[in-house]
Amino acid sequence: MEKHVVVIYPHPDDESFGAAGTIAKFREQGVPVTYLCGTLGEMGRNMGNPTFANRETLPEIRKKELIEACKVLDMELIMLGYRDKTLEYEDRNEVAGHLKGIIEKIEPSLIITHYPEHAVHPDHNALGAAAIEAVQLIDTEKRPTVWAQAITNTHVEDLGKPDVINDVRDNFDTKMDAILCHQSQANGVIRSWNQSEGMDNDLKEEAMKRLGFESFYIWKY
């Protein structure tokens, strides 16, 4: 059993779409989970539909949504305070040093982050790379395991079958509750499923097909 799990992603909602079912399973086992969220996603273009945010109010709104989602998932939240869409320009060593300090305090047995260069968004790639580097800076015998999440359409072709494939359909209601906390983001995503698959599709079934499994590669140092 894990001692403590630390999740490191850059945006509010990455945790809910990417790993909520896995987080819920760990919490069921009584494993503490801490989310290190890189930014507030304040540069997002999605202002809700109907529009309920503007450039000034979006950070506060996304912060509230993030706090709500962490409550649903029953995990601790640490906001890292980086600026959205600029993580790729941050000095990677500095970000890694920052993360290492937090990781050494928490002493997790497992870290979940994005797989660098296989995570679609530059912020995902940058923070994943920094997290992996942070762990590399820790003495070998104290290093937590790293699960790296690849989300490109071609990741299985590129990297092979993931090492860990969690069937999270049993925890699906919790996952959807967490996703729906991110009202400013989730509506657009869910609408796009409807448009791509036709309105007759049962939404939950469609969501389960897309989000019912969470997979990770064990990072090899």
* Residue with Cβ nearer Zn ion (14 or 42): 14
Site for Zn ion, residues 110 to 139, rule: CB under 5 A: none
166 forms beta bridges with: 214
Strands (E), the chain: 5-9, 33-37, 76-79, 110-114, 145-149, 164-167, 213-218
User: Residue number with the shortest CB distance to Zn ion?
Assistant: 11
**Which ranges constitute the DSSP H helices of 8-121?**
14-28, 58-72, 92-106
- What torsion, rounded to 10 degrees, do the Cα atoms 208, 211, 212, 213 define? 160
> Which of the stretches 13-21, 80-88, 91-99, 148-156 binds Zn ion when contact is defined by CB under 5 A?
13-21
* Residue selected from 5, 7, 11, 118 as contacting Zn ion according to rule CB under 5 A: 11
> Which of the stretches 3-11, 17-25, 105-113, 168-176 binds Zn ion when contact is defined by CB under 5 A?
3-11
- Decide if residue 42 touches Zn ion (CB under 5 A): no
Q: How far is the CB of 114 from Zn ion (least distance, A)?
A: 8
Q: How many residues of this chain interact with Zn ion, rule: CB under 5 A?
A: 2
- For residues 93 and 139, give the distance between their C-alpha atoms in angstroms, rounded to a whole number: 17
Cβ atoms within 10 Å of 89's Cβ, excluding its own: 9
- Decide if residue 14 touches Zn ion (CB under 5 A): yes
Per CB under 5 A, residues contacting Zn ion are: 11, 14
